[in-house]
Structure 1
Amino acid sequence: MGLGATGRAASWMFALILVTQLAGIVQSRVATLGSGASNAVLSNAWLIFMLPHGIVTVSIATAYFTSMTADADRGDLRAVRNNLSSSLRTIGMFIVFAAVALSVVAFPFARFYEAKYSHIGAMAHVILAYLPGLILFSMLFVLQRVFFAFHEQRTVFFMQLVQSGVFVLGTLVCAWLVAPEHIAVAVAIVTSVAGSAQTIVALVLVHRRIGGLDGRWVTRRHVQYLVFSLVAGFVGYLVVSGLGGYRADGFGLSGRVPAILTVIVAGIVMAAVYFVLLTAARIPELSAMTRPILRRLRRA
């Protein structure tokens, strides 16, 4: 009935999920050894980390995945490379900014979940420990789709083994060497390191599989995004500081509503600065995203 290939693909994906869940069990057990930041804090911080990934990366990568699958079925490696490069540059335009912006508003964001300043600080530090891995984490999602386009789920499974192995080893080291009050932050750091290691392996494997990554342009764009995001982030830092978003007695941490307002105001300011810088630099990825919107507005 032609289900053999589907069954093999499903088996590799099931094995990948199983390995991921086993690593998650190790994380949960180690996190219970900590004090201050708990498993709940790790989960909530991870949800914040996943917010831009779920909204931006999954949406854009899914659209490109359809084209990459058709290109792979035709054996058109050049088209696969072009779609991969375009998706990485487009997603990076949002994700690099999101990583910096979330770092700036980590404290008021943590105020959504915690009331005491010590608990707010503990959760904010966990968020900050996760965020360095956000850019490469989103890259990994796209790189995995290249192998899915070629129906090579087995390669993705072995890449996951690298990540889970590094994560489990690092988490166990944290349990032995890190003080209880710092275990949650240490686990978040290990998560970023393990995910980054998997992404590096994926970059090497994808480069070999399709004969290149357009790495020069992808790197150049990400450097530009980072510079613009840091400028916007500095402005956002001034806004959050002015609203008392880093002080125990500040307006930004005085309640959930002030925290929400602080995040919204700082987010709008940072987004505006970032957009102006992208426009001034004439970044083509921005034009590609805004052109359809402007066209519809003109028609309206």
Structure 2
Amino acid sequence: MSQTTSNGALGRASALMASGTAVSRVLGLLRGMVLVAAIGATGQAADAFAVANKLPNVLYMLLAGGVLNAILVPQVVRAYKRDAGQDYVDRLLTFGFVVLGAVAAVLTLAAPLLVDIYSDSGSASQHALAVSFAYWCIPQLFFYGAYALLGQVLNARGSFGPYMWAPVANNLVSIAGFGVFIAVFGNARETDVNLASTWSSGQVVLLAVSATLGVIAQAAVLYPAMRRAGVRYRPRWGLRGYGLSRAGTVAVWTFLGLLVGQLGYIVVSRVASQTSHAAGPGAVVAGNAAYDYAFLIFMLPHSLVTVSLATALFTRLSAQAHDGDADGARSTLSLGLRVVGLFTTIATAVLVVLGYPLTGLVILTGTAAEAHAVSGVVVTMAVGLPFFGAWSMCQRVYYAYEDARGMVPVQVAMAAVVAIGTWLSRELLDPQWWVAGAGAAMSLSYALGAGVALWRLRARLVHVDGPRVLRTHAQALVAAVLAAGAGAATSALLDVPDRLVGWLVTCVVVGLVMGAVYVVALKIMHVRELDDLTRPLVARLRRRRG
């Protein structure tokens, strides 16, 4: 297959995934709006639910997510090259489901301990509410794991779309549940729902079960997709003699690396849980819930391009690693770094310039004070977006070569930067800036991680196409600075009200100006990667016109 044909197929796969991610993220923003309307974006109840509903995500990434990425795709790709591929995959899936179920059950029983680890609110009622939420939310761990297991098998079979479209079901179910909560119990502005001491068991169950049912739906919709892709799963027991010893070693090192990363995040979560108490009654400051909404905005551009492209490239990287094709792996990494960097650089500029109005739209049902609190966190996180994209691509290379051990020193350094930076923010800044300081520490950690990882990958790939990658990023930075200047000037000239219409007009007008300036600047500099980034969209528009 020619490189052009291969990149065309990659572009189509990336476009399909990006479209699913885009729909999911839009619905995710709507889900966030409905949740803010129900319980607010700051305050005791919002922070308690944020901690509890985040636990299954954190635990999944720690116990299963990275391990699945590290071993499942390479193992499945190799399995389907053998005659007994489906038998092996059946055994992997059965083993994974059993382990996920057992772990989810044990951790659900440990809900009080987990809440103690990830929060330090100083309020007994807020702690009790978080524990009540956690009992209903932690079982999501099993369904997140099932979603990942089934989705990665589909990816290995070349069926990328369902994995990225499945979260749409999650968001639709959650939105419906949160809407019922508002209809039954009222919204955050009209009630005292922000106070943890006012919550009833009915409120707890309805809100938490709505979130959990969404995750169940997200996993369930992948099963028929597997059958359409020709995967006929049958439970099979036993993995002895299937050569998983190396994969087990990879899993152990992956777990250790993620555990180290969690130590840094625990510091962030505990400091964020202290802001409301430290700022005093009535203060609107960023806490755990605000961190989550800021991270949702931060992840939007990352999900649209970086995750979609990296997921499509990972299958190719795994095959190249298996075949010992270092030149091919280096070329794939270079392509990913350049195309992802082109998008994340302008995304950073847009988030910095439009941080406040964009946040206002995302938490539209909140107050202006809440929008200001969250937007400060968005800006400090956004600075690290290009480095986060580069770090994500480097991780895929390590996983493709089943070298999770090589990432651990990098992850230790990154976790140390996050923990120390967050602690310094708490010691040196006012409570309203603690979470924003944590966001800045995260950005710095991504820059360190990407730089060190690329340096270390040279030993495996001989080089990482550094001059070409740096040239593309430098050109993107110049174009983004010009776009940011034009966007800031346009924003200053607009005279619009500071609510829905004003925020929407500002985002649309300034966003279009910045996008146009960025594209023109890249065209003037003859940046070829712009075509790689826009080719799937252009091809789709041409097909529709035809």
The two structures have a TM-score, normalised by structure 1, of 0.88
- Corresponding residue number in structure 1 for 2:417: 166
Alignment partner of 1:275 is 2:519: yes
The superposition leaves residues 193-220 of structure 1 with CA deviations (integer Å, 9 ceiling, x where unpaired) of 2222222221221122211111111111
Residues 52-61 or 12-21, more deviating: 12-21
Task: Map 1:229-240; keep pairs closer than 5 Å.
Answer: 229-240=480-491
Deviation of the 1:257 alpha carbon = 4.3
Alignment partner of 1:121 is 2:121: no
**SS in structure 1 opposite 2:383?**
helix
Percent identical: 35
**SS in structure 2 opposite 1:33?**
helix
Q: 1:194 aligns with which of 445, 451, 460?
A: 445
Alignment partner of 1:41 is 2:41: no
8 Å Cα contact 2:268/2:435 also seen in 1 = no
8 Å Cα contact 1:33/1:175 also seen in 2 = no
Deviation of the 1:149 alpha carbon = 1.3
Which structure has the larger Rg? Answer: 2
RMSD: 2.2
Distance in 1, Cα, partners of 2:295 & 2:534: 30
Task: Map 1:174-189; keep pairs closer than 5 Å.
Answer: 174-189=425-440
Deviation of the 1:107 alpha carbon = 1.1
- Corresponding residue number in structure 2 for 1:28: 269
Distance in 1, Cα, partners of 2:538 & 2:251: 42
Deviation of the 1:90 alpha carbon = 0.9
Letter in 1 for 2:351: L
* Structure 1 segments unaligned to the other structure (5+ residues): 245-249
Deviation of the 1:294 alpha carbon = 4.5
The two structures have a TM-score, normalised by structure 2, of 0.50
Residues 284-293 or 160-169, more deviating: 284-293
Q: 1:65 aligns with which of 314, 319, 334?
A: 314
* Equivalences, count: 293
Distance in 1, Cα, partners of 2:252 & 2:509: 47
Distance in 1, Cα, partners of 2:305 & 2:483: 19
The superposition leaves residues 154-186 of structure 1 with CA deviations (integer Å, 9 ceiling, x where unpaired) of 222332222112212222233333332321221
Distance in 2, Cα, partners of 1:91 & 1:111: 27
The superposition leaves residues 199-244 of structure 1 with CA deviations (integer Å, 9 ceiling, x where unpaired) of 2221221122211111111111111111111212222222322334
Alignment partner of 1:109 is 2:358: yes
**SS in structure 2 opposite 1:32?**
helix
Letter in 1 for 2:423: L
Distance in 2, Cα, partners of 1:83 & 1:63: 11
* Structure 2 segments unaligned to the other structure (5+ residues): 1-241, 280-284
- Corresponding residue number in structure 2 for 1:11: 252
Change (3 A) 1:11 1:129: same
Distance in 2, Cα, partners of 1:125 & 1:242: 22
**SS in structure 2 opposite 1:151?**
coil
Distance in 2, Cα, partners of 1:268 & 1:294: 18
Distance in 1, Cα, partners of 2:389 & 2:482: 22
Residues 170-179 or 145-154, more deviating: 170-179
- Corresponding residue number in structure 2 for 1:157: 408
Distance in 1, Cα, partners of 2:431 & 2:302: 30
Residues 147-156 or 282-291, more deviating: 282-291
**SS in structure 1 opposite 2:274?**
coil
Letter in 1 for 2:260: V
Deviation of the 1:137 alpha carbon = 0.9
Distance in 2, Cα, partners of 1:293 & 1:186: 37
Distance in 1, Cα, partners of 2:490 & 2:294: 22
8 Å Cα contact 1:33/1:183 also seen in 2 = no
- Corresponding residue number in structure 2 for 1:218: 469
Distance in 2, Cα, partners of 1:182 & 1:287: 40
The superposition leaves residues 8-63 of structure 1 with CA deviations (integer Å, 9 ceiling, x where unpaired) of 33333333333333332221111233332222111111111111111111111222
Deviation of the 1:129 alpha carbon = 1.1
Distance in 1, Cα, partners of 2:515 & 2:315: 30
**SS in structure 1 opposite 2:402?**
coil
